[in-house]
Chains A and B, each alone.
Chain A
């Protein structure tokens, strides 16, 4: 029941919000709901939860099964922490029809939690789409100037991926012994080699677009740039993890042979993407696009580490799924505060933040160094384990991927220099009193960065069982 209530709380709150017209009250409802969800998420992550199983669509034997393993736990925890952080940090922003905006945000949260908890393939697909549709409305109604075209592209692109997955699901379903969508039945589906390959390709396409893996990534920087920043935060802190989650939870155990034969291909592709995105990040002037490309690089590294098919790499990914979410959230919140107060995201027009708002500048430097995985920040642990795995896989590839360590320092420190240092620019001079609620969130997130960076065991403990199961065969 714990799992079901975790899903229901944001869902019910989202419906209630549709009727709360008052802005302040709407904020309270949304934040309260996400707070309760966060508490439940902590409970699930550290105490576990029993499976939930109910009939759903009897005619095709689809069941409403919710279950949680270490991987799901860490992502539920991330979702649980992200939403209150996002809602509090952006609570002062001007948003038209705030209640509808918040309602859609909580629908998205429902979808995300559903994706991570679903133990039935059709249910997984259902939530996968449920998470996407509210985002479509959020972007196309509240987004930037080019929102219509960009959101359309983003929607079509990812929706196309989802359709491939649906075909894949049907293909596997029709070959299951008991005609069921349950993940266990899917694992026992009798697929010929050709069918397994086809199903692998169909699922992988959906996940690869979602992550995204090079060269399927071009929807992302545009979408991040044009979405309202609160939505960008959801997209990059949590939603991109759906793709990686799908690979680990579904792709790997379902199609082991096809997975094994494509390891090298995906690792190479992912690593090319890492370097490619890092280079492009160097040349960005827009803070949001810079973070977007940086994020593509980080996700690419995770994807490569998964496909090394090693325990160490997988452990690194588990940690990094969480850490990347926290770090990128911190960067987005700072970018948002700056944009809200200066009206610009162009780094060339910014500068001197350290003089104007020292606390925000300190936080920026903190998250910047987490972004480049300085030791004792959370990202170091994950990246260290992942690079280690890639090195085991192939030392030359690790050396190649390692270039991104240097490139990340270049673009991140460039950003810090242009935004925080130097003399106070005209744009920065517009910045008024610090945004206290955003700073509060940033301080909490930065504490998470250091706690999990110094003592990562708090995260390892959540995932260790699942890790062993994944590799015991």
Chain B
């Protein structure tokens, strides 16, 4: 098993080195086969590992000591258990499909850049696997920053475009702010417990050693890390900008996998989070606020990828709501279903963009239904899944979170349902504007409209099937299912407490949310099936269209003042005060040298005067030798 687990991680790394070092050597066919092949290998090994965990339970393997010095040890251990083996399947499974899709989507790139793209993508999968497989927080952190690096490289993949570079830099820097929180949490654990391995940290004994303050501080700091990586308020603004990257990247990194790392981290540490009431409230409130904020913005966006990006932020908010109310299995469930339908939607959007020759504005689309039949039907399935219409997958996972939220506090549920209604609305606004009605693009675009090649449609079809049926892994007892997923996760999160709601309440809640979702989606279809949105005229419309002016606010309140502060340090403090003092000292020395030089004026009388003065001073010293010695000794003491 040690080798198999090792190679799950190594295949993508080999792929990275192969294409990264051979970018000027291989032709595009070799690059595509190798890059996709390595991820498929990793997927196969993941399945083997998953089956092994199913039959024999969790395994931890030790490779070497990453740090072992000064009484301080961080082993390089990998662990597969119920949680990480599930993530493995999602990452390598969806990853394989997106690699396959990319081989066609990126085919216009020149070979060296094609190789660069796949090298980055392979490196991303490597880092993501490290993140979920690590057996301690430091290995997780290695993967954590590694995925940040790959995200940076891929957002800025078209590096001659300055806007894209800014987006890439912004993503990395905002993530770094979160990473700082994560790092401080790690240090806190080390100081208090002397270890960061899950096996020793996440136990009742360790919990007993930590005070309430410790636990709250550690979990809040970890959550700061999660905010950055999983794009929650206030660190979410990088994710919409990250859409500058190639669309398959948005699907893999900024929808299906990387952005769910925060959910993985908290689920992994659930024993700590459950021990702090305060942190749980913070997580739930941040989650639901993000879900609502992003949903309102998504309603007014016209860029097909931006709508999906805000939708991702919003859905991540739901997952954090789930974590905050203790529905860990519900959050993981939503991670899985979301990975399928959001990857599907992004790849569908990519197929549309591909057909439209890089047009992303949905107001210039319309009527694509007949021209792109496979893209259309799969995209529709994705929309239905995310809107929460039964029996598609999104319904089950979202409902589980909402039910748990109701049990904790009905207000959470109410807000969650409002968010779900908005989700249904903006998704079907997107769907109707893009696929229904008349084509609104140029004649030339109309002429070239075509369905994408099979390397792109095959992943769409597979993901559509998954989006439709993935709910089966978590059918609640209420509906006669046995919720396979929550049984799976028992070793990680313990027995899920039965939601203390009567069956009739549960049915009622479910009926209400489904009813609201379906009626709003019908409204959206009806409204947008003929015409696209106008440029917003109302104040509220403009406010939402401009994303609540949050970027402008950050710029005015944080970026500009810090920039000015740096300028002040550079121009005033450094140049005038500190270096000024140094140069001033030099000038004083030179000045006094110039003045004292005048003493030596060549007149013998002066010299004699100074000789006499000197002798007098010497005599005084001699007579007062003891006094002077004392003076100096005192000085030194």
Known: A391-B187, A399-B184, A421-B156. 19 other contacts (CB 8 A): A198-B636, A276-B573, A311-B70, A311-B72, A369-B149, A375-B141, A387-B187, A388-B72, A395-B188, A402-B180, A402-B183, A405-B179, A409-B176, A413-B169, A422-B160, A456-B66, A457-B67, A460-B67, A460-B69
Question: How many B residues touch the partner, as a band?
Answer: 35 or more
Inter-chain contact total with CB atoms closer than 8 Å: 140
* The one of A157, A195, A388, A457 that contacts B187, using a Cβ cutoff of 8 Å: A388
- Decide if A385 is an interface residue (CB 8 Å cutoff): yes
- Decide if A188 is an interface residue (CB 8 Å cutoff): no
Q: Nearest residue in A to B175 (C-beta to C-beta)?
A: A409
CB distance from B572 to the nearest CB of A (A): 11
- Decide if B569 is an interface residue (CB 8 Å cutoff): yes
Q: Nearest residue in B to A160 (C-beta to C-beta)?
A: B585
Which A residues lie within 8 Å of B188 (CB)? 391, 395
Inter-chain contact A457/B65, CB cutoff 8 Å: yes
- Decide if B631 is an interface residue (CB 8 Å cutoff): no
Q: How many A residues face the partner with a CB closer than 8 A?
A: 60
Which B residues lie within 8 Å of A219 (CB)? 582
Inter-chain contact B169/A283, CB cutoff 8 Å: no
Closest 7 CB pairs of A and B: A194-B637, A391-B187, A375-B142, A218-B579, A421-B159, A311-B70, A279-B566
* The one of B68, B141, B173, B574 that contacts A280, using a Cβ cutoff of 8 Å: B574
Inter-chain contact A315/B173, CB cutoff 8 Å: no
Inter-chain contact B184/A391, CB cutoff 8 Å: yes
* The one of A153, A282, A409 that contacts B566, using a Cβ cutoff of 8 Å: A282
From known contacts A369-B149, A391-B184, infer whether A311 and B66 are also in contact, taking CB-CB under 8 Å. Answer: no
CB distance from A463 to the nearest CB of B (A): 8
Interface residues of B in 65-87 (CB under 8 A from A): 65-72
Which B residues lie within 8 Å of A312 (CB)? 70, 72
CB distance from B591 to the nearest CB of A (A): 15
Q: Nearest residue in B to A191 (C-beta to C-beta)?
A: B636
Which A residues lie within 8 Å of B159 (CB)? 354, 420-422
- Decide if B538 is an interface residue (CB 8 Å cutoff): no
- Decide if B64 is an interface residue (CB 8 Å cutoff): yes
**How does the 8 Å CB contact mask read for A453-470 relative to B, with 1 for contact and 0 for none?**
001110010001001000
Q: Show 23 A/B contacts (Cβ-Cβ < 8 Å), sorted by A.
A: A153-B582, A194-B637, A279-B566, A280-B569, A280-B570, A283-B563, A283-B569, A284-B570, A311-B71, A311-B72, A315-B70, A375-B146, A385-B67, A391-B187, A398-B184, A402-B184, A405-B179, A405-B180, A406-B173, A406-B176, A410-B173, A422-B160, A456-B67
- Decide if B549 is an interface residue (CB 8 Å cutoff): no
Inter-chain contact A375/B145, CB cutoff 8 Å: yes
User: A280–B112 Cα gap in the complex (Å)?
Assistant: 37
User: A314–B190 Cα gap in the complex (Å)?
Assistant: 17
Interface residues of A in 314-333 (CB under 8 A from B): 314-315
Inter-chain contact A414/B169, CB cutoff 8 Å: yes
Inter-chain contact B141/A417, CB cutoff 8 Å: no
**How does the 8 Å CB contact mask read for B571-587 relative to A, with 1 for contact and 0 for none?**
00110001100110010
Q: Is the interface of A mostly helix, strand, loop or mixed?
A: helix
Inter-chain contact A355/B160, CB cutoff 8 Å: yes
From known contacts A387-B187, A392-B191, infer whether A409 and B582 are also in contact, taking CB-CB under 8 Å. Answer: no
Which A residues lie within 8 Å of B191 (CB)? 391-392, 395
- Decide if B165 is an interface residue (CB 8 Å cutoff): yes
Inter-chain contact B142/A280, CB cutoff 8 Å: no
User: A196–B574 Cα gap in the complex (Å)?
Assistant: 33
Interface residues of B in 115-172 (CB under 8 A from A): 138, 141-142, 145-146, 149, 152-153, 156, 159-160, 162, 165-166, 169, 172
- Decide if A119 is an interface residue (CB 8 Å cutoff): no
* The one of B69, B169, B184, B636 that contacts A315, using a Cβ cutoff of 8 Å: B69
CB distance from A203 to the nearest CB of B (A): 15
From known contacts A405-B183, A406-B177, infer whether A374 and B190 are also in contact, taking CB-CB under 8 Å. Answer: no
- Decide if A376 is an interface residue (CB 8 Å cutoff): yes
CB distance from A366 to the nearest CB of B (A): 11
Inter-chain contact B569/A192, CB cutoff 8 Å: no
Which B residues lie within 8 Å of A16 (CB)? none
User: A365–B123 Cα gap in the complex (Å)?
Assistant: 15
- Decide if A256 is an interface residue (CB 8 Å cutoff): no
Which A residues lie within 8 Å of B570 (CB)? 279-280, 283-284
User: A414–B173 Cα gap in the complex (Å)?
Assistant: 11
